[in-house]
Amino acid sequence: MFSDRSIRSRFIIQLIIATFALMLIFSSILYLFIQSSIYDDKRTEMLGFAKNVCEYKALLDPIEANGDALLGLTVEMITYKTPEHQAQIIETTQDKHTKLVLFYPYKAEGNSYVKVTKDITPTKKLLKKILNSIFIINAIGFLMVVLYAIIFSKMLVAPIKELNRRLSNMNEHMIRPIVVQELPDEFAPLGESINHLISRIQNFVKYQKELFIGAAHELKTPLAVMKLKNQVITIKKRTPEEYIEAIKVSNKSIDEMNAIVSSILNIGRQEGAQLETPVQADVIDILRRKANDFKLLAESEGKALEMHFKPDAFMCTLQESLLNQIIQNLLQNALKFTPEGKKVILQSLINDEGLLIEIIDEGCGIDDTVDLFAPFKRQGSKSGAGLGLFLAKSAADALGGELKIQNRKDDLGTVASLLLRSKLHCILPLK
């Protein structure tokens, strides 16, 4: 429990030190105040006796007589050769008896003094008892504070231990989200972050399984075609044209397998890109450069690419290669499914959460019942490995963004949106 790396042990030690220092300071101030008050009363009392002797020739004021004040008191007249003409009080200790001695000038023009001696041994014993009582009370209070610190610190780390217990019992087959409502308010953000991470792990495990199964299936099909074609060719002697046709079919199957392998390699490259150090970049500038690259491609296919960017600049800290990959895949899909003579719109705007990037096409739309981000999921009759949206979704998750694809409200195409959440509260000007 008292490890140097333990927050609980540091909390307990710091609380003990702070409590000890506070008690020591408070006790010292309290004791000194009590001692000062008692001594001031004694000094005032002795000065009163001396004044009474000088004025009334008696120890007590005739009006305010108090016989108990005379206990332990002695008064005598003394003479100093060198007159001081000032009252002086000193404290002496002899034979375990403590006394206060007052020298009070009897006459201003003479060398006579009234010497008033007061035995304050009972007062000293009382102060000692008070000091012992303060120490005992402080010791009891200190032990109670230590006990409370141990119990309180245990209560504070209980939610962490419970989270650790739940997470340690999970595996890739039995991942369950944490019930945030059962956690204290202070740990609710941590629980939500863990649930978000669990959701990403679940999606990762799900898509990885689908990726392996899909890759095996996609590679098996062209291999089966090649094998069947070769078996047919080898049954009997064929013409050179038939052999050439068989080779063309095999080459086509090989090209299909190469496309799948290249897409799988892109997944590995993307995972490496996620480990890149994020840098501050202007997202609008990245969008503008990427759109200019695809504008020429769109024009060559008889399509139009329009750009509407608001604001003029938006600074974010991110991996630029991941953002490029997302925009590239979304633009490729939009242009692929948009008929000739139609247009694709790339636009950006600010909302309450951050920067919203939208790619709007005039294609065939999507099937809302299909998980488009799963690997090897294809829409329409266009060719492809079916990994583009899977890569885009993985990159968006790595950036902490949110990627959505849905049909337009007028059913004349689709809208792919990427929300980049930002902690910035204002748009930073370009340098």
pLDDT value, residue 380:
55
Q: What percent of the chain has pLDDT over 70?
A: 79
pLDDT above 90 (res 261): no
Where are the extended beta strands (E) located within 253-312?
A: 279-282, 304-309
Mean pLDDT confidence for 21-39:
90
Nearest-Å Rg of the Cα atoms of the chain is: 46
pLDDT value, residue 277:
75
Q: At what angle do helices 188-233 and 121-168 cross, to 10 degrees?
A: 20
pLDDT value, residue 411:
76
Question: So where are the chain's domains?
Answer: 7-144, 170-273, 279-421
pLDDT band at 367 (very low <50, low <70, confident <90, very high): confident
Q: Looking at 113-183, list the stretches that DSSP marks H as alpha helix, in order from N- to C-terminal side.
A: 121-168
Closest CA to 100 of 80, 127, 78, 73: 73
Give me 368's structure tokens.
């809302």
pLDDT band at 426 (very low <50, low <70, confident <90, very high): very low
How does pLDDT run across 79-121, given as a tens digit for each residue?
Answer: 766 555 577 888 888 878 888 888 888 765 567 778 888 888 8
Superfamily of domain 279-421, CATH level 4: Histidine kinase-like ATPase, C-terminal domain (3.30.565.10)
CA angle 227, 229, 234 (to 5 degrees): 95
Long-range contacts of the stretch 252-258 (C-beta < 8 A, 24+): 252/222, 253/222, 253/223, 253/225, 253/226, 254/222, 254/226, 256/218, 256/222, 257/219, 257/222, 257/223
Average model confidence (pLDDT) across the chain: 78
